[in-house]
Structure formats: structure tokens, C-alpha cells
Structure 1
């Protein structure tokens, strides 16, 4: 069935590729936002402190001009205005201690922090905290001290628990000499703020800027352009809008150069949008590209909006405001982008307040794509129905009668471990970073020989169905039940992750409700697993492995073909951006250093291949130990080219979207980059089939989890305590448990959909490392030592869990090391306790590598 289905699938791929070679076209209209007006301010104002406070939009201070006099005659304000949600007008809610404009403001959990600014007398160094007083329904203003230097026309942003401020102070007015300032302040130090609490950080390497734009995105700070000279309210003057944008990493305390915006602007607004995009709105420039017939030496105010993609470091045009604006501030309020006040083309401050909503997006998912998706899901259901008539015993249902071919088992292991996490999150990781994770494939050649030589013989015995039966024979019943329960809890969490990820992606690229997607996948995978048991699980995995591999390979080819210079362009872009970096020589345990990746993968793979019932159950579905060993090597043979393809796919996506940044959806999570590309830029029909593969990847992991958990409960709990149960009762229970567990996993995914998660691959690796490491340590203690006993095993598991929890909570150790810490601490503590508190003599014949052939009276040897 699997072979015939693959032939049909690839025939359809070929036909559709020939008849429709043109990829979906991206939207020609690149207008990202739709703008509308909020209630206008009582008067035109520019350079105000703007932010969100207690649910209110706040505009404090600012500057206006006297219309009856020269427009250069500036008037500074101290009024604090607030706008309630759905209100029709602004209301006065207090006054600053002094009239100020052109400072910087940042919203924090303590209040709106207002820093610096200027008045008619010059720049100021004061720092104020604005808080909402619910009793007086006014804003309280507390002066917190001064900055080290008086700064105006500066910008600020928050990153983590720090507020950063970038600006210049005039060192020598006569010689027009300025000095750059880059400062940081801990958010929790506001209560007793003194100038000494500001930390001086090495500033950006370029020239000093006034009215630059500073914002935080994707864990870093971005400083975008500015003016090398101060700007007055008379914007008709010739300004020196300077190109030069930089990125600051707080982890390394270093700056890196960015690609400059398409137009050199100053006094623009910048705001983070989505997970990895910065919107660059309006501004003043003296660039002829701004339009019009004015000379390039004259200042022009822009209405254009550009988007900077922080991952690809590329810019795209994203439409424009309803009117040109500069010296305004863009903030997020009520889930929307708001631009308040600012300077307009008539050289006057404006009272307008505009809000933006995301323009409705039309999915390129075609009726043909939906048809292909439906047909693929029907094929999966047919496989389940086909094997439903071949599962007449519990052995057939749980182990396939131990007649499954080794190559099918190997592909099944590969498919279930890949899941939707591998199909989406690994290319997304390569897209966002590099190939450092790829070096983990080397550990296959370390781990697999050990598992084949030392582990599989202890699992593969007649009448054994779960891995945890070994633990009872080696230790006692309590250890067996602990192992089974740990596995069950891990799989319940895994079900949620592998269902939620593709549902989220499908929601982004097709508009389908994320909860409906979870329900479809959960119900269908549960249905065919209930019907066909392990045979349905394995053979659907075989089909899915082929489509996953082909879909990723085809996606990579189409992405490379979308580049102007094809393969050469792909290689040049990847090389220039260091995307093929394989080794991080850092020695820091908080990074993806080479030794961290390798050590972490060795222990993670060991845990997966020895303590995970979903894998062990596949070993046991083959005829003998030799077949099981071949299956494991077949898994390696499939996994290595798979890893190569998906990392190339992710890098190809980086090259494609760096070249075509306008084709990205700025609101999209990075983990959705694969389905976005599949739906938007792959041929109609093929995109439906590849997206079906994404569905199937999630379902292949879910079916494995629910079937293995049902088997574990049936064997390690029900049959263990009811040894007289009939095979018919055991089969009936396993089917019912499969259905119930499918519903539980689906429910867990629905719950997970209510939370925002940055990188699901990282999340899953972190969760798996915490959960399975201690369990693998128990298996290691039992197989490799003779002194290990039940007290040591339980003690090691408990203390190991505490160690892992403490490491995760109180350190910044990279999650790759969690499995090593879990396995190591569990094994070492278990061995130490076993030595300190030795148990009574217990027959270990056939239960350790030291005694495997020493006697013939072990529980396993009697079965031979």
C-alpha cells in the first residue's frame, strides 16, 4: 500500500508541476496597513512624550508654534493628555514639572518613563515617571533624578529588564562638535534613581545622530539612521539626514552594521511588528528619491513606510501613511499601531492621530490544494481501515504480529521523530540562524552502535511488549511504573506541541481556524490508529516519510529557482551571510558551541532510542534482533539525507526572502516560514500536497504517541495487575485507550493554542530533555552496572529531576545539555545510592551486560 501510494503521489506531483509551472504570485499591492483616524489632539504638537499607561494613550509635553509669528518661534508644553479606548476626545490629566519636547519615552510595568528633552533654554537631563492615579483619575509625575548628560532629540527602547537610550550632546557649539551617548538603566532601579545608576555602553561605530530611531526586536536593539545635525521645528531647512544603521547585541555588548533603509531619513518612527520585523514610518530627508521636483538639498517629509526584516537584514516598501509625517512617535495601543502628532509638509505640528490595522490578507491556497489535502487524508484513513481487519489479537494490534519489514520500521522511526517539528521548525531554524544544529547528525554514528550492541538485546525478548518490563525484572515494580508514567506524561506534552505547530501554520497561510485544524488532525489520526493499530501507524509513516522528503526537496529547488542567479546566487548569499556555519567554537555553556551540540545530541538520541516506547515498540514489531538492528540503521540512512535537505531548504528560504523581502508576511511567526512559502510560491496542487505532508507529519507523531501510550497503560498497568485478563479484553482496552488518549492529546493541543511560543523546536527539545533524561539514566544504571538497585534507581530519578529543574530555573545553561544533565545525574546519583545502600542478593542473570550469559535462571532466559 505504501509503495503504490508513493507512486500515485509522485505521479501527481510530476503532472501538476508540468501543467502549472508558475508559482503563486505574491500580492502586487504591498500596502501592509490600513489607516484610520482617532480623535484629534486639542492642538498640533510635535516631539511629545508618547506611550501607553493603564490602558490609556498618553501624549505629554511637546512643542507647537505660534501661527501669528515666525514658524521658528517654538512654544513648549507641559500638558499631559490621555485618550481612553473608544473615547471621542482627549482629556487633560495632569502637567509635567516643566515644559519639554524632543525627549524619549518608554512604557514599563512601573509607568511611562520620560527621559531628557529640551526647552527654550536648552537640553535637559531630567527623568520622570508617569503613573496613573485611579483615585484622582489623574497622572502623577515623579522626578527620578537626572541622566549623566542633558540629551534631546534622542531615542529609547526597552530590551529585557533594561531601558536603552541613544543620543548626542553638543560638546562644542561653535565647532559643531557632538559626542555620542549610549546608556542603559535597569528597570527595577527606578525607585532610587541616581545619575550613577546609568551605565555607559560603547556607542555605535558611526557618526552621532539626532532624531534617530531606536527599537527592540528579535532580542536585539536596532538604531536606524538620524540627522548628524540638530533639527528645529522649521523643517524646510536643509538637514543632514545620514544613512547608517546598526544592530546592538546585549549578550555580546557589540554592534554590527545593518543594511541601510532605501532612503536616508531622520525623525522617523520605528516600531517592532510581528516576531522579526521593524516598521520604519515617515521622517525627514533630503533625498531626491522621496519624490517631487524639489532639489535634493531641500528637506522633504515622507509618508512612506518601509519594513526591515531583522533575520534577512533586508528592506521592503510596505505602503504609506495618509499624509507625510515626521517627528511623530509610533506606539502600540489596544493591539494597533498608533502615530500621534508630528510635523507635516506645511512646517506645522499636526493634531491628527492615526491608527493602523493589518490589511486583510487573501490566501493563495486554491481549491485544487484543498482537494489534494483532502485526498491525502483519505488515503491515510484507508490505510487504517485496511489494517483494521488484520488486528485480531493484542499482539497484532500492538506489535503487528512481529512481521513488519525492517526497512518500513526504519522509515517509520524517522517519520515519527521528524514530525511537524522537523518539517517546519528545523528549516525555520536554518532560515533564522545557521547550520550549527546540523552537526548533531554525527552523533548517530556514536549512539546507534551502542544501542544495537548493548540495549536492543535486553528489549527484544519473546512476550515482551514495552521497554519498561525490563525495569521490573532488573529492579522492581515501582521502577517499572515510574518509567511507564514518565513516558506517558512526556507523550501527552509531545502530542500538544506536534499538533499545535502545523495548526498554527495552516491558520497563517490559509486562514483556517487554528482550533479547527487541531480537531481535524486529532480526530483523523485517532480514528485510523484505533482501526489499524501499529500496522496503520508504521505504514502511514512510510508514506509520510516519502512525501516529507520529496516536499522539502521540491521546496528547496523552487526557492533556489526563484533567485536571479539560481544556484550560484544561492551559494553567494548563503556564504556572504555565514549561513553555512557548522561549528561554533565558543566555550560558553549557554550557547550552541560545538561540544554543547554534540554532547547534547549524544544523550538526547540515547534517551530517544532506549527509553522512548514509541521507538522501542517499533524494534519489537520486527522478527528478531538482527531485523531490529537493521531497522535502526535504516532510520540513520533516511535521517541523514533528510537533515541535509531540510537545512538546505531553510537556507534557500533565507536567500529567497532576502532577495524578495516584500514577499514575506511581517506578522508571521518564523516557525510558519515553510508553509507560507509552500502556499504562496509553489505550484497549485503541489502546495496542497506538501501542506498535506505537514499535516501528516503531525499526525504521524500523534498516532505513535497515542498508540504507544495506550500499549504502555494496557501492558504495564492493566495486564500487570490483572494477569488473568483475556487477550480479547486486552485488545478491546487498547483500542478504547487509543481513542481516549487521542482526545486528550487533541485537547492539550487546543490548550497550547492559547499561548504564544517563539520557537517550538526549542521548546520541544527543552521539554524532552527535562522529561526523558532521568528515565534514560535508569536504563543505563540497570544495563551497565551490577550494583545498581531499585533504591538507587528511584533516588537517581527523583534527585535527577530536581537537578534538572534547578538548572532550568536558576541557570542559563543551554537546553541542549538538559539530556546530558538528566541522564548523568540520574545515573551517578543512582549508582552512589546503590553503593551506600546495597540491596539483598538479586539474580542478575541476563539482565546486565556483565551477566547476560552468566546464568539461565533469569526471567528473560527462561523465555529463550
Structure 2
């Protein structure tokens, strides 16, 4: 195929500017002000951060390279049902305003798992929550670090190990040096790259194809535009109900992670935190809309050039589609390809830096704090910096070891993180909703949730019915010398190429009919399974064990959601009172 687009000098320069800028921010906060001498300053920015930078940082943390590469690929491969993620993220943010903010922010804690220790009066629950949270974060960061490396190696020519080491090394260094302030302000800097790159690709691509109407026409003719899948069968991969319910739980669970809570606690007021979540809805809506549109653009481009690079064998993985498309469409002007590749690196950096900073906070507060009592603030900060560096190295190693992973990165992430985030969310919801819940119920419920989620995820991977993708594009001109430099007339293509007609209709692909199996349940429901099993098993266990315990739990009302306080304790002041259960 012609168009062996490549990364040139200006592209590498622009990539270097992004990496050096990120490093420079870390160095600045390492030496500015009090130089991060206290643990609170290093992990929480002195609790003085404002809403806008925290909002941009929260956005950059969870909208990583996984979504940049995965969402357009999802649309190209399966259609636009994933756009309902806008509804899921919006609902999750609105729910968080009324639940997470008033529950967590007034406690003035550092680690999210300190809430578990306070609510259940149990260090054991705190440790279990920390372990599950660490496993979830490592899974997410591994895929976030690996996905751009897998995509860039065959398209840009950057060796996989080099991408992992560069992104992992730079992120680890500036996070170690500058703490949460460098993470937040670097996220702000990287968010600019993310939006600049995403909009540049979308605008230039639409111009190449022939306009928005042409993009929509081809996408609709090839069956990519679909928003009406309302099937109640849980085996259907994406439905309105599945993405809305399962997706909302998935994103809501992210607000109980250390990376998210750390930003909440670093913000100067509860009002500012509410603004963070409201601003996030706007950012997420714009961002997901751009990525879904990019997926439709990929469809129009590869159908109009009559060359699907996956079907032609030029690419080995659908996750490589976006960088490949970028090199073809933006390679005409030096630096533009580098801008988008910098976008991918920026998204990966933001996720890594936030994650390793959060893991260090978890380790210090949940595991080693009792061994460091009486130590100076400078010593505690040094230990925290060492842990940041340690987790950075661990993530680099895990990403390289996981290099054989295949499949849509969005689905891989949802399965890996959903298997742990569901049970973890269940522990928090159990404790914040039911004063009857005790530490035994929390531990048993969490164990049940984790076993069910991992069992279902592993079983689906090994025995589940693989999803059926939409028809591949044509390959007629893939091997012509001018294949990527000129378009055929789309209307002529529809009438003069009947052999490709099946690729340009909405004919549903054949679906294998088989007996119902739990392993065929869509991955989108995994978080819900974890939450339900954790809460139901945990509550039942608590009710039974409460009868057998001589000392019944006495949860303070402030450890419950505000609406639950009014329900369980209607006749008393529930702001900060010990309540003994009947």
C-alpha cells in the first residue's frame, strides 16, 4: 500500500516538547514553595487546590490512552452504542455530588480506605480494601501504559519497550519529584494536548472525506450508526440498559478510588468539589462525542479509499487503527502527526502519574503508617517518594509482561477493572447505606463479590461467545500505488462495485445460537454483579453475626450517606452522633 507514512523530525520534536514540558512542571514543584516537605503537601497539595485544575486532572486521569485508541476502534468495529457512555458518566458525576462529596470530604482523611477503618472500626477491612484497590489500579495502569505502545510500534515504528520505558520513566520521575501538585498541573498541560490532537484529527479527517454529511452517509450505510439496541438479554454486548446501568456503576466506582478521592481532598472546599464534578460532565460529553465522531470518520475514510487496513493485513490489531489513520491523514504537514501521538502519550502519562501517586498514598496510610509513628515529616515524605518510584517501576514491568494482550482495550480495561471495582464499590455502599453492616459482613461480602466477578470475567474470556463485529471494509485499492492519495467517487462505488455491497449495508451478521451461559453475559454487567453480591452477602452475614456478637456495631451517623441518616435515624441530630443499633 502506498502511503508508508512515517514519523519525521518535527513529529519527534513536538513529542519531545510535551515530554520536556511535563518533566519541567515536576521539577518546578519539586523546588518551588516549601518543596513538598510535608506528607500533606506532597500527597494533597496542602488541601488548597482550585476547581478548574482539579477537574482537568480528574478528567485526564480517567480518560486515558485507552479511550483515545479504544473508543474510535469500538465505533468502527461494533457501532455507536458506546456513545451512551455520555449518559453513564453524567449520571455517575451527579450521583457523586450527592453521595461521595458529603461523605468523604468532611472526614479530612488521606487514603480512601481510612473511611473503611473508621466506618467498620476494623483495620482488617481497611487493608482488604487497600489490596483490592491496588490490584484494580495496577490493572488499569498496566493497560493504560501498554495500549499506546502496542498501537505505536507497528504504525510509528517506536519499539514497544521504548514507548513503555519513556512514558513510564518520565511519569515516574516528575511524580516522584513534584507530588500531587506536579501531577495535577501536568494533567492540565496534557489535557491541552489531548483536546488539540483529538480536534485536529477530526477536523482534518472530515475535510479529507468530503464533509460531515459524507461521513454520516457512509457510516449509516455501513451500519455503524445505531442507538436503538434496547434488548433485555444480558448476553447482548451493548444495550441502552447495559451501558447506562453498568457504565454508571463503573464510572461511579472510580470516584471511590484513591486517585479520585485524593483530588477531592486536595480541593479547598466542598463547594469547589461539586464544581469539579459539574465541569467534568461538560468535558466528558465533549470528549466522548469527539471520539465517537472519530470512529465514524475512520469508517468513512477506509470505505471511501476502499482499503480496510485490518482486512488487508496491514495491521494486526484494531487498536492500531487510530495512529495508522493519523499518519495517513496528517503526515502531509510535519508536526501534526506528532501532535496526535503526543496526545496518546499525554493521556497515558496522566493516568500513570495519578495512579502511582495514589498507590503510594495507599501504602503509606494503610500499611506502613503505624510503623512510622513519631518519624519526622521529611522522613515520611521521603518514604512516600520512594514508593512512588517503586510503583512506577512495577507498572513498567507489568506493562511489558502483558504485551501479548489482544482485543479492544476498552473492553479489556472494563473487564480487568470491573472485576475489582464492583466489589470495592460494594464495600463502600454497604457501609454507607446500612448501619447494620459490620466488619465480618464487609469481608465476607467483598470475598464473594471478588470471586463472582473474577470467575465470570475469566470464564467469559475462556468460554464466552466472542462478540460479532460489523462487516470489514473493502480492500480493492489497498495494493494500488495511489490508494491513499485519491478517493473514488462514493456514489459510483456503491453502484459499480456490487461485490462489496454486503460491506455497505446494515445486514445483521449471523449470530451463533447457543444455550444460555453465564459466561456469555456482557462484560458491561460485571461491576453490577460485584456490587450486588458484595452488598447482599455482606448484609445477610452482618445480620446473622450481629446476633452472635456481644458488642454490636456503633456506627457514627456521619459515616452514612446523608439521605440514609434521615432514613435510619429520623428522630435525632445525625451530624456527628454515635448510634447504637437495636
Aligned to 2:18: 376
Q: What RMSD over aligned residues (CA atoms) do the two structures have, in Å? A: 1.8
Against the structure 1 CA distance between its residues 698 and 858, is the aligned structure 2 distance closer, same or farther, given a 3 Å change threshold? farther
Query: Is 1:739 matched up with 2:381?
Result: no
- Contact 2:129 2:424 (C-alpha < 8 Å) held by counterparts: yes
Q: Please give the residue correspondences for 1:46-85 in structure 2 after superposition, counting only pairs within 5 Å.
A: none
Residues of 1 paired with 2:239 and 2:280: CA distance? 26
CA deviation digits over 1:619-652, x for unaligned, max 9? 1110121111111111111111101011001111
Which of 530, 534, 553 pairs up with 2:180? 534
Which of 825, 842, 847 pairs up with 2:533? 825
CA deviation digits over 1:499-557, x for unaligned, max 9? 11111121111212111111111111100101111111111111222221221111111
Which of 551, 554, 560 pairs up with 1:848? 560
CA deviation digits over 1:586-624, x for unaligned, max 9? 2221111221111111211221112x1111111111012
Query: Is 1:593 matched up with 2:262?
Result: no
Residues of 2 paired with 1:369 and 1:436: CA distance? 34
Q: Count matched residues.
A: 498
- Contact 1:555 1:678 (C-alpha < 8 Å) held by counterparts: yes
Aligned to 1:444: 89
Which of 135, 138, 144 pairs up with 1:498? 144
Residues of 2 paired with 1:425 and 1:855: CA distance? 44
Residues of 1 paired with 2:374 and 2:307: CA distance? 67
Residues of 1 paired with 2:455 and 2:527: CA distance? 14
- Contact 1:719 1:725 (C-alpha < 8 Å) held by counterparts: no
Against the structure 1 CA distance between its residues 825 and 663, is the aligned structure 2 distance closer, same or farther, given a 3 Å change threshold? closer
- Contact 2:216 2:296 (C-alpha < 8 Å) held by counterparts: no
- How far 1:663 moved relative to its partner? 7.3
CA deviation digits over 1:250-276, x for unaligned, max 9? xxxxxxxxxxxxxxxxxxxxxxxxxxx
CA deviation digits over 1:469-506, x for unaligned, max 9? 01001111111111111111111222211111111121
Residues of 1 paired with 2:287 and 2:276: CA distance? 16
Residues of 1 paired with 2:328 and 2:575: CA distance? 64
Residues of 2 paired with 1:470 and 1:783: CA distance? 10
Query: Is 1:790 matched up with 2:439?
Result: yes
User: Which structure features the higher share of helix residues?
Assistant: 2
- How far 1:818 moved relative to its partner? 0.3
- Contact 1:458 1:470 (C-alpha < 8 Å) held by counterparts: no
- Contact 1:426 1:646 (C-alpha < 8 Å) held by counterparts: yes
Aligned to 1:834: 542
TM-score w.r.t. length of structure 1? 0.56
Query: Is 1:402 matched up with 2:50?
Result: no
5+ residue gaps, structure 1, are: 1-25, 29-361, 860-864
- Contact 1:439 1:583 (C-alpha < 8 Å) held by counterparts: no
Against the structure 1 CA distance between its residues 856 and 758, is the aligned structure 2 distance closer, same or farther, given a 3 Å change threshold? closer
CA deviation digits over 1:327-361, x for unaligned, max 9? xxxxxxxxxxxxxxxxxxxxxxxxxxxxxxxxxxx
Query: Is 1:415 matched up with 2:415?
Result: no
Other structure's SS at 2:106 match = coil
Query: Is 1:766 matched up with 2:453?
Result: no
- How far 1:463 moved relative to its partner? 4.1
CA deviation digits over 1:705-752, x for unaligned, max 9? 111000110111111443323222210111000011100000001101
Residues of 1 paired with 2:144 and 2:223: CA distance? 30
User: Which structure features the higher share of strand residues?
Assistant: 1
Relative contact order, higher structure (CA 8 A, sep 6+): 2
- How far 1:384 moved relative to its partner? 0.6
Against the structure 1 CA distance between its residues 460 and 756, is the aligned structure 2 distance closer, same or farther, given a 3 Å change threshold? closer
- Contact 1:560 1:567 (C-alpha < 8 Å) held by counterparts: yes
Aligned to 2:8: 366
Aligned to 1:637: 282
Residues of 2 paired with 1:855 and 1:401: CA distance? 26
- How far 1:857 moved relative to its partner? 5.7
Residues of 2 paired with 1:688 and 1:575: CA distance? 31
Q: Which has the larger radius of gyration?
A: 1
